[in-house]
Amino acid sequence: MIREFSYQAPRKQKELLDILASERENARVLAGGTDLLVNIRLGLQHPRIVVDIKKIREHTAIRFDEKEGLSIGAAVTINEVMENRDVQKHFPALVEAAKVLASHQLRNRATVIGNLCNASPCADMAPPLLCLDARVEIVSDSGRRNLPLEAFFAGVKKTRLTPGEYVERIVVPPRWADAGGGFRKMKRVRGHDIGVLSVCLTKKGPLRRVAVGSAAPTPVLVGEFRGRVSTEEVIRKAMRRINPIDDVRGSAEFRRFLTRRYVAELMKEVR
Amino acid sequence: MYADKDPGSLKVVGTPQRRVDVLEKLTGAARYTADLKLPGMLYAKVKRSPHARARIIRIDTSRAAALPGVRSIITGEELPYRVGLYIVDKYVMARGVVRHFGEAVAAVAADSIEIAQRAVDLIEVEYEVLTPVLDPVKAFDRRSPLVHPDLGEYEYVEAVFTPVPGTNIANHTKLRKGNLAKGFREADWIVEREYTNPSVQHVPMETHVAIGQWGPRDQVTLWSSAQSPFTVRNLFCHAFKLPHKNVRVIVPYVGGGFGGKAGIHLEPLVACLSRKAGGRPVRLVATREEEFSLLPCRSALTYRIKTGLRNDGRIVAQKMTMFWDAGAYADYAVNVTRASGYSASGPYEIPNAWIDAYTMYTNKPFGTAYRGFGHVEFSWGIERHMDLCARTIGMDPLEFRKVNALRPGSLTLTGERITVNTGNVTKCMEEVAKAINYGRLTAREKAREKRTGKKIGKAVAALHKAPAMPPFTSTVVILRMNEDGTVTANFSLSEIGQGTYTSVAQVIAERLKFPMEKIRVCLDTDTEHDPYDWQTVASKGLVLTGNAAILAAEDLLRRAYGTAGQILRAHPRDLDHDDEKVFLRHHPDRSVTFREMAVGYAYPDGNGIGGQIVGVGRYIAQGLSNLNKETGQGHPALDWTYGAHGIIVEVDPETGEYNVLKVASAFDVGKAINPECVRGQAVGGMLQGLGTAVCEGYMYDTEGHLLNPSFTDNKVPTAMDLPEEVESIAVETPQIDGPYGARGVGEHPMIAVCGALGNAIQNAVGADLTHMPMRQEDVWRALRKKTSINHFITRCGFGCKR
Amino acid sequence: MKRAEAGEPVEISLRINGEKVTCRVPPHVTLLRFLREYVGLTGTKEGCSAGECGACTVLFNGRAVNSCLVLAVEADGANIRTVEGECRNNRLSRLQELLDKHHAVQCGFCTPGMIMSIRDLLARHPKPTLRQIQEGIEGNFCRCTGYVQIIEAILEYTGQLKKKGELKRVRG
Which 3 state secondary structure label does DSSP give B472? coil
User: If 0-12 CB within 10 Å is exposed, 13-18 middle and 19+ buried, where does residue B621 land?
Assistant: buried
pLDDT band at B796 (very low <50, low <70, confident <90, very high): very low
Q: CB B719 to CB C103 under 8 A?
A: no
Q: Residue B402: CB partners within 8 Å, gap ≥ 6?
A: B426, B429
Chain A touched by B113 (CB under 8 Å): yes
CA end-to-end span of chain C = 70
Which residue in A has a C-alpha nearest to residue B707's C-alpha?
A248
Per-residue pLDDT band for B6 (boundaries 50, 70, 90) equals low
Whether residues B796 and A247 touch (CB distance < 8 A) is answered with yes
Bond from prior residue into B467 cis (ω within 30 degrees of 0): no
Confidence band for B7, pLDDT divided at 50, 70 and 90: low
Report the SS3 class of residue B273: helix
Tell me which residue in B203, B499, B722 faces C147 most closely, judged by beta carbons: B722
For residues B456 and B448, the answer to whether their CB atoms sit within 8 Å is: yes
Q: Domain holding C120: CATH number?
A: 1.10.150.120
Pairwise CA distance, residues B462 & B398, whole Å: 9
Is C107 an 8 Å CB contact of chain B? Answer: yes
Q: Which contiguous run of DSSP H or E holds residue B611?
A: strand B608-612
Residue B796 near chain A (CB below 8 Å): yes
Q: CATH 3.30.365.10 spans which residues of chain B?
A: 7-30+473-620, 300-469+625-795
Can you tell me the mean pLDDT for C82-87?
98
The per-residue pLDDT for range B182-198, each reduced to its tens digit, is 999 999 999 999 999 99
What residue in A sits closest to C133 (Cα-Cα)? A104
DSSP H or E run through B506? helix B500-512
Residues 106-165 of A with CB under 8 A from B: 121-122, 156
pLDDT at C172: 86
d(CA B555, CA B553): 5
Tell me, what's the pLDDT at B802? 29
pLDDT at B786: 66
Report the C-alpha dihedral over residues C65, C69, C73, C74, rounded to 10 degrees: -50
Q: Which residues of B touch C82 (CB under 8 A)?
A: 28
Q: Out of A7, A108, A191, name the one closest to residue C65 (CB).
A: A108
Q: What's the gap in Å between the CA of C164 and the closest CA on chain A? A: 25
Residue B38, class by beta-carbon neighbours within 10 Å (0-12 exposed, 13-18 middle, 19+ buried)? middle
Q: Among candidates B222, B321, B272, which has minimal Cα distance to B78? A: B272
Q: Which of A198, A247, A261 to mutate to test the interface with B (most CBs of B within 10 A)?
A: A247
The tens digit of pLDDT for each residue in B67-78 reads 999 999 999 999
Tell me, yes or no, whether C98 lies in a domain: yes
The number of CA neighbours under 13 Å toward the Cβ of A3 is 17
More confident residue, B797 or B447: B447
How do residues A176-214 score in pLDDT, each as one tens digit?
999 999 999 999 999 999 999 999 999 999 999 999 999
Among C61, C85, C109, the domain-final residue is C85
Task: Report, as residue numbers or ranges, the catalytic residues of B.
Answer: 747
- Asked whether the predicted pLDDT for residue B533 surpasses 90, the reply is yes
The answer to whether residue C14 sits within a structural domain is: yes
C73 and C16 part of one domain: yes
Q: CA-nearest residue of chain A to C53? A: A103
Size of interface A-C (CB pairs under 8 A): 105
What is the DSSP-derived secondary structure letter of residue B671? Answer: S
What does the pLDDT look like over B616-646, one tens digit per residue? 999 999 999 999 999 999 999 999 999 999 9
Cβ contact, residue pair A4, C51, below 8 Å: no
Residue A104 CB contacts under 8 Å (≥ 6 apart), including other chains:
A79, C64, C117, C120, C121, C135, C136, C138, C139
Burial class (CB in 10 A: 0-12, 13-18, 19+), B786: middle
Q: Which architecture does CATH list for B33-132+208-285?
A: Alpha-Beta Complex (3.90)
Q: Is C117 on the interface with B (CB under 8 A)?
A: no
- Shortest Cα–Cα distance, B431 to chain C (Å): 9
Q: Among residues 167-196 of chain A, which lie with CB inside 8 Å of chain C?
A: 191-192
Chains that touch B (3 or more CB pairs under 8 A): A, C
Are B95 and B83 in contact by the 8 Å Cβ rule? The answer is no
* B53-75: b (≥16 Cβ within 10 Å) or e: bbebeebebeebeebeebbbbbb
Domain presence at residue C165: no
Task: List A153's β-bridge partners, or say none.
Answer: A159
Average pLDDT in chain C: 97
Structure confidence by residue, pLDDT tens digits, B10-45: 999 999 999 999 999 999 999 999 999 999 999 999
Residue C164 lies in a domain: no
Topology of the domain comprising B7-30+473-620: Aldehyde Oxidoreductase; domain 4 (3.30.365)
Give the pLDDT of residue B791.
41
The answer to whether the Cβ–Cβ distance between B715 and A121 falls below 8 Å is no
Q: Determine, for residues C138 and A192 on separate chains, whether the beta-carbon distance falls below 8 Å.
A: yes
pLDDT of residue B797: 33
With respect to residue C167, please indicate whether it lies within any of the assigned structural domains.
Answer: no
Distance between CA atoms of residues B297 and B263, nearest Å: 12
Q: Indicate whether C148 belongs to any domain.
A: yes
Q: Region B329-350: what's the mean pLDDT?
A: 97
Domain of residue C130 covers 94-157
Write out chain A residues lying below 8 Å of C51, CB-based: 34, 38, 102-103, 105-106
Beta-carbon separation of A1 and C63 below 8 A: no
Which of B718, B726, B728, B735 to substitute to test the interface with C, most C CBs within 10 Å? B718
Q: Does B720 touch chain A (CB under 8 A)?
A: yes
In this complex, do B37 and C37 lie within 8 Å of one another by their Cβ atoms?
Answer: yes
Q: Is residue C58 part of a domain?
A: yes
pLDDT digits (tens, 9 = 90+) for B725-784: 999 999 999 999 999 999 999 999 999 999 999 999 999 999 999 999 999 999 999 999
Residue of A nearest to C140 (CA): A103
The answer as to whether C71 is a domain residue is: yes
- Model confidence band, residue A9 (pLDDT cutoffs 50, 70, 90): very high
| C105 and C71 assigned to the same domain | no
Q: Are C77 and C98 contained in the same domain?
A: no
Nearest CB partner across the interface for A2, out of B113, B717, B795: B113
Q: Which residue of B has its CA nearest to A194?
A: B712
The dihedral through the CA atoms of A75, A77, A82, A83 has a sign that is: negative
Calculate how close chain C gets to B154, using CA atoms only, in Å: 36
Q: Which helix (H) or strand (E) holds B775?
A: none
Range B300-469+625-795: architecture per CATH: 2-Layer Sandwich (3.30)
Q: Residues of B numbered 703-742 whose beta carbons fall under 8 angstroms of chain C's beta carbons: which are they?
A: 710-712, 716, 718-720, 722, 726-734
| CB pair distance less than 8 Å for C139 and A103 | yes
Instruction: State how far residue A63 is from chain B, nearest Cα, in angstroms.
Output: 33
Subunit contact A258:B801, Cβ cutoff 8 A: no
Per-residue pLDDT of B551-583, as tens digits, reads 999 999 999 999 999 999 999 999 999 999 999
Chains touching chain C, criterion 3+ CB pairs below 8 Å:
A, B
Question: What is residue C2's predicted lDDT score, i.e. its pLDDT?
Answer: 78
C43 to chain B, any CB pair closer than 8 A? The answer is yes
Indicate if C79 and C117 belong to the same structural domain: no
State whether C65 and A105 contact (CB < 8 Å): yes
Label residue C164 by pLDDT band (50, 70, 90): confident
C101 shares a domain with C74: no
Is there a single domain that holds both residue C15 and residue C65? yes
CB within 8 Å of B792: residues ≥ 6 apart = B134, B135, B198, B300, B699, B700
Yes or no: say if B290 and B46 are a contact pair by the CB < 8 Å rule: yes
Instruction: Sheet with B42-48: list strands edge to edge.
Output: B70-75, B104-110, B42-48, B282-285, B209-214, B220-224, B247-251, B525-526
Whether B503 and B463 have beta carbons less than 8 Å apart is answered as: no
Contact assignment for B25 to C108 by CB distance below 8 Å? yes
- Measured between beta carbons, which residues in chain A are less than 8 angstroms from residue C46? none
The answer on C99 and C63 residing in a single domain is no
CA distance A19 to A51: 8
Kindly provide the residue ranges of all beta strands, DSSP E only, lying in B147-271, ordered along the sequence: 169-177, 189-197, 209-214, 220-224, 247-251
- pTM higher than 0.90, yes or no? yes
Determine the Cα–Cα distance for residues B717 and B691; give it in Å rounded to an integer: 6
Do residue C126 and residue C145 come from a single domain? yes
Q: What is the pLDDT of residues B248-270, one digit of tens each?
A: 999 999 999 999 999 999 999 99
With an 8 Å Cβ cutoff, are B684 and C139 in contact?
no
B787 has a pLDDT exceeding 80: no
Chain Cα centroid distance, residue B492: 16
Judged by DSSP in three states, B165 sits in coil
What value does the mean pLDDT of chain B take?
96
Q: Do B708 and A156 touch (CB under 8 A)?
A: no
Q: What is the pLDDT of residues B217-246, one digit of tens each?
A: 999 999 999 999 999 999 999 999 999 999
DSSP chain C: --PBPTT--EEEEEEETTEEEEEEE-TT-BHHHIIIIIS--TTS--S-SSSSS-TTEEEETTEEEEGGGSBGGGGTT-EEE-GGGS-BTTB--HHHHHHHHTT--SS-SSHHHHHHHHHHHHHH-SS--HHHHHHHTTTS--SSS-SHHHHHHHHHHTT--SS----EEEE-
Contact A199, A212 (CB under 8 A): yes
CA dihedral B624, B628, B629, B632 (to 10 degrees): -80
C92 contacts B27? CB cut-off 8 A: yes
Q: Are residues C80 and C15 in the same domain?
A: yes
**Same-domain pairing of C61 and C128:** no
Residues of A whose CB is below 8 A from C33: 1
Question: What is the nearest CA distance from B529 to chain C, expressed in angstroms?
Answer: 23
The residues with which B9 forms a beta bridge, in sequence order, are none
d(CA B707, CA A252): 17
Task: Indicate if the pLDDT at residue A251 is higher than 50.
Answer: yes
User: Which whole-number Å values give the CA distances from B707 to A247, B352, B699, B794, C48, in the listed order?
Assistant: 9, 42, 6, 9, 17
Cβ-contact B491, B478 below 8 angstroms: yes
Provide the pLDDT for residue B259: 98
Do residues A117 and A126 make contact, with C-beta atoms less than 8 angstroms apart?
no
Nearest CA-CA distance, residue C148 and chain B, Å: 7
CATH number at residue C74: 3.10.20.30
Cα-based angle B262, B263, B269 (whole degrees, multiple of 5)? 130
Are B288 and C50 in contact (CB < 8 Å)? yes
Q: What is the DSSP string of A159-191?
A: ES--TT-EEEEEEE-GGGTT-EEEEEEE-SSSS
Selected residues 638-697 of chain B with any CB under 8 Å from a CB in chain C: 668, 670, 672, 675-680, 682-688
CA B17 – CA B678 distance, rounded (Å): 12
User: Can you give the pLDDT at residue B512?
Assistant: 97
Same domain, yes or no, for C81 and C124?
no
Segment B464-489 shows an average pLDDT of 97
B792 — pLDDT class (breaks 50, 70, 90) = very low
Closest residue by Cα to residue A248 from B451, B636, B311, B292: B292
Provide the pLDDT for residue C7: 87
Which sign, positive or negative, has the C-alpha torsion B687, B690, B694, B695?
positive
Q: B340-379 burial string, b = 16+ CB within 10 Å, else e?
A: bbbbbbbbbbbbbbbbbbbbbbbbbbbbbbbbbbbbbbbb
Based on the structure, what is the number of domains in chain C? 2
A104 close contact with B: CB closer than 8 A: no
What phi, psi does B64 have (nearest 5°)?
-65, -40
